[in-house]
Structure 1
Amino acid sequence: MVCRLRKSLYGLKQAPRCWFAKLMTALKRYGFIQSYSDYSLFTYTNGKTQLNVLVYVDDLIISGNDSAAFKVFKAYLSDCFKMKDLGPLKYFLGIKVARSSSGLFLCQRKYTLDIISETGLLGAKPSGFPMEQNHKLAHASGELLKNPEAYCRLVGRLIYLAVTRPDLAYSVHILSQFMHEPRIEHWEAALRVVRYLKGSLGQGILLRSDSELTLEGWCDSDWAACPLTRRSLTGWLVFLGKSPICWKTKKQPTISTSSAEAEYRCMNGATCELKWLKRLLLSMSVQHPKAIKLLGIYDPNAPT
């Protein structure tokens, strides 16, 4: 006797792994090559025909330069799996994609409205900026929150919102440091970020159609920015042509003994990111023969 177990994709812990293995086998059988820079990216090249498939569990984004090849490949997928074609990309994982002659605009307006509604700030006055410049959140000594789960949930949602909002990178970095023991001051700072969102609902990222496919990075560090550990802060922003595609704010893993050392550590992190992006572009047949520019901000008054 043999029992056949019928479960949904998310029913078993090993199910996503088995599903991805099956999907990967089908794509490779068609001729796709898995990218070593991002294992969820598969590329297909046949002469001048180029197809790209980006996988997130059971959701696929297919892009390419040949409509006929699109139809043939989608017919192949329909034969292999029970697939639903949703047409041109408009909404993916909470991110709205709008097309125009200027390019692609990525926005999370609906997701932002859900955050504001959940915190009960739909009628609140918007804030002009997300966080005070000289805040003292690291030294906060107020009362502990009675419901820390609400703080963790809010910060978690802000982390995902920062995917299309580089202006939230620093605020999210600061707020996420107090997830284990949030206090009243931290909660109020998080609500200030939400009130800032209320005044900037439609902000997002524009991937310009007239951008050159060349990388350029900007980086800067704040020496001994953390008042508790004295670790420096690293921040970088990467452009593809005129479009921002990658950004990050993070504490450095070790203490830098000078501002110059902090800057070099920051440059090292940005350089690693640029090299990874260059390999990712190469896997999509985008050549980058020119040297990548890495720019910084010079402050003559910074301590050394």
Structure 2
Amino acid sequence: MIITSDDTVGISSLKKFISRQFEMKDLGLLNYFLGLEISQDPTGYFLTQAKYTCDLLARAALTNCKTAPTLVDLQTHLTPLDGHLLSDTTLYRQLVGILVYLTVTRPDIAYVVHIVSQFMVVPRSRHYDALHSKKETFVAHSSTEAEYHALADTTQELVWLHWLLSDMGVFDPTATNIYYDN
């Protein structure tokens, strides 16, 4: 059981009550739960899935791959007949399932996870390739230009997330701040 509140007296009281009813052990502050690494400071809690992600990369034999801003080019269109049938469909399904859970702390991968999850019944090589490759869409001539491209990509992602949330009935009229270091 995870108990969280800013009322330390209330938490202590609840723990005493529960321990009278059930045998329990207090494990202290939460730091790892179901693949989520939790840390805290006076401003709040922070969630990461770094270990979970490293385990995923090792399982998929992708530990030597280069990083990319997104997993797949947004212009990529996959069809059910792209590439040859995978010999190990179980691994594909497991990886997609792991990626679905990874979106808890990495909502930026939700788009590609949505795309590849459509092919779980009969996954093919091209669908698997979309999990770990991306063709670079531009070559920056300066770090400033690269930062402008990153800001443009971030803005595009934020607009997409805003539309997605609106479709789900979550409306937030406030603007989203984008911070950058130039």
Query: Do they superpose with TM above 0.5?
Result: yes
Q: Retained in 2: the 8 A contact 1:97–1:106?
A: yes
Separation of aligned partners in 2, 1:179 and 1:295: 37
Provide Cα deviations, 1:59-79, integer angstroms capped at 9, x if missing partner: x11122332232221121112
Judging by fraction of residues, say which structure has more helix: 2
Q: C-alpha displacement at 1:133, in angstroms?
A: 1.7
Structure 2 counterpart of 1:133, from 70, 74, 78: 74
Separation of aligned partners in 2, 1:270 and 1:105: 25
Q: Over alpha carbons, which structure has the higher Rg?
A: 1
Separation of aligned partners in 2, 1:151 and 1:169: 17
Separation of aligned partners in 2, 1:192 and 1:101: 39
Q: C-alpha displacement at 1:91, in angstroms?
A: 1.6
Q: C-alpha displacement at 1:137, in angstroms?
A: 0.9
RMSD: 2.2
Q: Retained in 2: the 8 A contact 1:155–1:176?
A: yes
* Corresponding residue number in structure 2 for 1:232: none
Separation of aligned partners in 2, 1:98 and 1:85: 18
* Corresponding residue number in structure 2 for 1:8: none
Structure 2 counterpart of 1:89, from 30, 34, 42: 30
Separation of aligned partners in 1, 2:94 and 2:131: 11
- The answer on 1:270 being equivalent to 2:171 is no
Separation of aligned partners in 2, 1:67 and 1:103: 15
Q: Which runs of 5+ in 2 are unaligned?
A: 135-160, 176-182
Q: How does 1:133-172 map to 2 (within 5 A)?
A: 133-138=74-79, 140-172=81-113
Separation of aligned partners in 2, 1:153 and 1:100: 34
Separation of aligned partners in 2, 1:127 and 1:293: 29
* Corresponding residue number in structure 2 for 1:75: 16
Q: 1:137 to 1:82 in 2, by over 3 A?
A: same
TM-score (norm 2): 0.73
* Corresponding residue number in structure 2 for 1:188: 129
Between the two proteins, the alignment pairs up a number of residues equal to 149
* Corresponding residue number in structure 2 for 1:120: 61
The one of the two structures with greater contact order (alpha-carbon pairs below 8 A, sep at least 6) is 2
Judging by fraction of residues, say which structure has more strand: 1
Provide Cα deviations, 1:219-273, integer angstroms capped at 9, x if missing partner: 32xxxxxxxxxxxxxx22xxxxxxxxxxxxxxxxxxxxxxxxxxxxxx4x332xx
Instruction: Detail structure 1 runs of 4+ shifted over 4 Å in the superposition.
Output: none
Q: 1:102 to 1:75 in 2, by over 3 A?
A: closer
Q: Retained in 2: the 8 A contact 1:91–1:97?
A: yes
Q: C-alpha displacement at 1:103, in angstroms?
A: 2.7
- What amino acid is aligned across from residue 152 of structure 1 in structure 2? R
* Corresponding residue number in structure 2 for 1:103: 44
Q: 1:160 to 1:82 in 2, by over 3 A?
A: same
Q: How does 1:43-82 map to 2 (within 5 A)?
A: 60-82=1-23
